[in-house]
Amino acid sequence: MCGIVGYLGQNQAYPYLIEGLKSLEYRGYDSAGVALMNGSLRVFKKQGKVRNLEAFVDGKNLSGNAGIGHTRWATHGEPSDQNAHPHTTQKGSLALIHNGIIENYETLRKELISRGHVFESETDTEVLIHLIEEIQINNHCMLEKAVQLALQRVEGAYAIIVMSKDDPEKLVAARKSSPLVVGMGDNEYFIASDTMAMGQHVNRVVYLDDEQIAICRSTKEIEIKTIEDIPVTPYIEEFDSNLSILDKQGFEHFMLKEIYEQPKSIRNGLRGRITPDGEIHLKGILEHAERFCEAKRIIIVSCGTSWHAGLVGEYLIEKYAKVPVEVEYASEFRYRDPLITDEDVVIAISQSGETADTLAALEIAKEKGAFTFGICNVVGSSIARVTDAGIYTKAGNEIGVASTKAFTSQMTVLTMMALQMGKIKGTIERAELRDRVKELDRLPDLIKQALSGDKITHLIGDLFAQASNFLYLGRGVNFPIALEGALKLKEISYIHAEGYPAAEMKHGPIALIDENMPVVVIANSKENYEKVVSNIQEVKARNGKVIAIIETDDRDIFKLADAVIEVPKCSELLTPFLSVIPLQLLSYHIANKLGKDVDQPRNLAKSVTVE
Ligand code: M6R
C-alpha cells in the first residue's frame, strides 16, 4: 500500500505533490509527508491524512522545483509523525519515500547499528536510506549507483524515489513488486504509484518493470537500467492526462458516485464485445481458444471483493462452459503447494492489478506451467502485465476503498467469458446463447431501474443503522452476493456482518437470531425460491428482522418480510447484478448515517500491496 509521488521540473513541486498525494490517499492515509529541494532539503511530515499535512505546512516556505511525497499505510511502526515518510539520512543530504516491505530489514538494521548508524523511526524503510548513504560515501559514487547497490541487498517489495541535496537536478526511482510509473511532460517528470497522481501536463509515461531503476534529470531524457546496471530501452507510451481527473460530480462521496456509475461502467465493459442481437466476440478468449477449450480445470485466484466475483464466475463457467472451476483465496493458494499442471488455466481477478497475494499466486501458477489470465481494471497494472493474456474490465477509476462498480464489471467480464467458452466448446445451444447475450445487453438499463429504489434503501438503512450485527443470506449464484453484501457493510460501517448460503443457517448461525438481528435475504432469484421463503419463515419464527431483496411485485415475501427492496424482474443470469445494487446502497446509507468515513474507512487501503 502507501502512495508515492515525485516531481522534477521548472515549476513549483509542492502543488503537484499535494494534489498527487490527495489522489493517492486511496492507498493509505495514516500519515503524509513531502521533501522539497531548494538549495537544502526540507522535510515536512504529519500523522493522519493529507489535509493534516496541508494544515501543518501552512505559512511555511514550500518553494522548490523538485520534491517527493508519500501517503502511508502503516506496516512497521504505528502511524506517527516519526514513522511518516520521507525518511532522511543523519547528514540530511538524502531523502527517500517507499511503498512495500523490506523483509530483511532486521538484519540490515542490526548491521547498520553496529557500524554506528542511529535510527529515528520504527520503519523498515529507514534502513534503505542509511544503506544508500553509506554505500555512496564508501564508494564515492553517483546516487543511482548507490541505489542500485543498496537494492541488491534488499529482500522484499519496493517502489522508491530518492533525492539528494548534492545532486539537486535528479530523482532516482526504482521498483520491485510495487507499482511505479514515470510520467513526462515538457522538461518535467512526474513519478507516482499510479497515473491518477500525474499532473495534467503529462503526455507520455513509462511503467517500470521489476528491479528497474529510472534516472530522471531535469533537462535530459529518462534513463532506465536494471539494478544490476544493464541499460534498458524505455518503452514510452502516449498518455491522456484527462483520464486522471478525479471529481465527485456532485455526489457526497466517491463510493456513491461509483454505485451510480454502474449502468455506464457495465456498458463500457460490454461495448465491442457483444451485440444487441445476441453475438459475442471476446478477443481475450478467442485468441487463446485452444488453451481454454483444453483446460482440465480453471483456478480463480483473488482476494476480497474480487474473490466474490470469482465465486460468481465459478457458477457461470461450470454452467455454460462445463469446465471444473476452483476459486481460491490468493493468500492461501500461494502457501499451500497447490497441484497445478500445464493443462490448467489460472485466472487472477483484481481491480487494482497490484494485490501482492494475487501476484504471488500467479507467480506460482506460472512456475508450474499453467496458462495465466488476468481480469484487471487498472490498465498497465502489474497483474495485467505478468499474465499471459487477459481482459480489462473497463470500469474506470474506482476511488472509494469499498469496491462497487469494479465488482459488477468483473462479473460482467466473467459472464461473457463463460458464454464465449460455452460457444467455442459447443456446451451452450445457439438459441440460448443468443438469449443470454441479449439479456446482458439489457443489463445497464435494468441496473438503472434498480438504482431508482435508492430512496427506500436509504429509509431502511436509517431504520437499521443502530444494529450491532447483520446476517446476509443467499443461495446459488446469489450466495457470493450475500458474502459481498456483508463485506461491504463491515468495511465501511464497522458493523459486524456475516454472509452465508441460506441453507447453512440452520447449521449454526440460526443460534444468533433474535429480535435484534437484521437478516438480509436475497430473494430475487426464482431458483430455489420456495426454499428461500422457508428460510425467511425460519428467521421470522425466531423474531429476527428480515430485509428482503425481491423481484418487483413479489407479494408473498412482501407480506412476510419486515422490509423489502424491489429490483426489476430478470433472468437468473442477471439476478446477482441486480441484488448487489441495493446491498451496496444499504451499506453506504448505514455508514453515512453513522458518520463514518465512507471513502476511506479506517485501517483499509484500496491497493493491498503487502501480504
Ligand atoms: O485490487 P483487488 O481487486 O485485487 O483487491 C482485492 C481486495 O483487497 C479488495 O477487493 C477489498 O476487499 C475491497 N476493499 C473490497 O471492497
Same domain, residue pair 402 and 482: no
Q: What residues contact residue 426 under an 8 Å CB cut-off, 6+ apart?
A: none
- Residue 607 in any domain: the answer is no
Cis ω before 601 (30° cut-off from 0): no
Question: What pLDDT, on the 0 to 100 scale, is given for residue 244?
Answer: 63
Range of the domain at 360: 247-448
Low-confidence residues in the chain, pLDDT < 50? none
Question: What pLDDT, on the 0 to 100 scale, is given for residue 241?
Answer: 72
Residue type, 570: C
Same domain, residue pair 462 and 556: yes
Same domain, residue pair 49 and 75: yes
Question: What pLDDT, on the 0 to 100 scale, is given for residue 550?
Answer: 97
352 lines ligand 1 (CB under 6 A): yes
Same domain, residue pair 407 and 458: no
Strand partners, 35: 43, 68
Distance CA 576, CA 522 (A): 9
Site to substitute for ligand 1 among 73, 254, 303, most atoms within 8 A of C-beta: 303
Residue 606 a catalytic site member: yes
Looking at 184, 213, 244, which one is the last position of a domain? 244
Question: What pLDDT, on the 0 to 100 scale, is given for residue 245?
Answer: 66
**What is the domain count for the chain?**
3
- Residue 62 in any domain: the answer is yes
- Residue 610 in any domain: the answer is no
Q: What residues contact residue 437 under an 8 Å CB cut-off, 6+ apart?
A: 274, 275, 278, 279, 280, 419
Same domain, residue pair 402 and 499: no
Stretch (H or E) spanning 417: helix 405-425
Distances, alpha carbon 242 to alpha carbons 195, 196, 239, 400, in Å:
11, 10, 9, 20
Q: What is the pTM of this model?
A: 0.82
Same domain, residue pair 301 and 363: yes
Query: Which position among 49, 145, 405, 606 bears the catalytic label?
Result: 606
Q: Which residue has the cell 532506465?
A: 224
Same domain, residue pair 416 and 431: yes
Domain holding 182: CATH number?
Answer: 3.60.20.10
Question: What pLDDT, on the 0 to 100 scale, is given for residue 560?
Answer: 95
Residue type, 374: G
Distance CA 366, CA 358 (A): 12
Question: What pLDDT, on the 0 to 100 scale, is given for residue 135?
Answer: 96
- Residue 82 in any domain: the answer is yes
401 lines ligand 1 (CB under 6 A): yes
Stretch (H or E) spanning 139: helix 125-139
Same domain, residue pair 421 and 525: no
Pair type for strands 3-8 and 189-192? antiparallel
- Residue 609 in any domain: the answer is no
Please report the atom of ligand 1 found closest to the CA of residue 606. 14
412 lines ligand 1 (CB under 6 A): no
Question: What pLDDT, on the 0 to 100 scale, is given for residue 297?
Answer: 96
Strand partners, 597: none
Residue nearest to atom 11 of ligand 1 (CA): 304
